[in-house]
Structure 1
């Protein structure tokens, strides 16, 4: 898998563009700044944006090529990232150490996904938020991006189950037009979620 992603990112062009995901941008800018985790951060568009608006950003990705491009972008925009090259099954953070976790187009097989989403809940501080945008199961067959396996796509029921114990503030399936670099272009079916960890 690392080799596949390193190959995808092995281009001067940023494969998902330089601008942040719109849903993440909108949500983050409505929150008080704090400590943010960006799993599967790729070439850094979301992590760098968050750092630009004063978040302390921690990020990881399994692709060393992506990490290099993210650090380059951060340098060009004069911000600092705490970016590790590591896979989701191996990464470790202290419990209750993040104010927000941004899961933007991070798709895994169901068992891995459920475990990782539960781990994210443990990493959240009380009052912290999960911000998620990913491809809905209706995306299967579309050419605008995303996994080609139905099991790796999201629906409302799965996300409700994954984030049991959190307060679901927002959960919506929608059709949209993506314009996020070469790999996310055209009509798409996505799902957005904001969920908050209870204070007690």
Structure 2
């Protein structure tokens, strides 16, 4: 879908709950606040939630209408809102403590290229969290995109996981009103450079 398509969807109605995804909240809520980016932030539900926890957040999305919904919410002034295509946007290297990529689905090589770059935005020890619809959701889950070329899997994320110290990589279940959905989770941190590196 193009930016115009998402603008139309966001213009019709709110697309998601204002609350964070439960697994995102579980994993991130115990981290000390720092600098974060919400990649493909949509209506900004995660960016706003992080800001309320004390994070300094940049929310990036190509839908100006989606971001405008976020900017109309309480605490929106705590977030930096950026209208941009995430495949061309970049943060400074080694500048972030958290990269959050929730339910962004792009074909390769664009998806892997973006995620590999995003790891480089993290400071050593910074956290990387990707959550999105799993390939197996097509046959065994409910909802989500129906194009296998844009769905996640542990195998598809392996080139990105290789850049991280991985805590979790695999399929997770998510209960929805329509039934059980299957997602892929990648949760890890950017390793510290080897002792003596750069000397």
TM-score (norm 1): 0.90
Q: Cα distance, 1:160 vs. partner?
A: 2.0
Q: Cα distance, 1:132 vs. partner?
A: 1.4
Long gaps (5+) in structure 1: 180-184
Could you say which structure has the greater relative contact order, defined with CA pairs below 8 angstroms and 6 or more residues apart?
A: 1
2:171–2:185 contact (8 Å) kept in structure 1: yes
1:172–1:193 contact (8 Å) kept in structure 2: yes
Where does residue 123 of structure 1 map in the other structure? 121
Find runs of 4+ consecutive structure 1 residues off by over 4 angstroms: 141-144
Long gaps (5+) in structure 2: 194-199
1:10 correspondence with 2:11: yes
Where does residue 182 of structure 1 map in the other structure? none
1:51–1:79 contact (8 Å) kept in structure 2: no
1:170–1:194 contact (8 Å) kept in structure 2: yes
Q: Cα distance, 1:146 vs. partner?
A: 2.2
1:96–1:122 contact (8 Å) kept in structure 2: yes
Number of residues of Structure 1 aligned to a counterpart in Structure 2:
192
TM-score (norm 2): 0.90
1:139–1:188 contact (8 Å) kept in structure 2: yes
SS at match of 1:137: coil
Q: CA RMSD in A?
A: 1.7
1:192 correspondence with 2:185: yes
Q: Cα distance, 1:44 vs. partner?
A: 0.9
Where does residue 58 of structure 1 map in the other structure? 58
Give CA-to-partner distance per residue, 1:70-129, whole Å, 9 cap, x none. Answer: 1111xx246511010000122122111110101111111021001001110111111011
2:60–2:84 contact (8 Å) kept in structure 1: yes
Q: Which has the larger radius of gyration?
A: 2
2:130–2:187 contact (8 Å) kept in structure 1: yes
1:107 correspondence with 2:105: yes
Where does residue 27 of structure 1 map in the other structure? 27
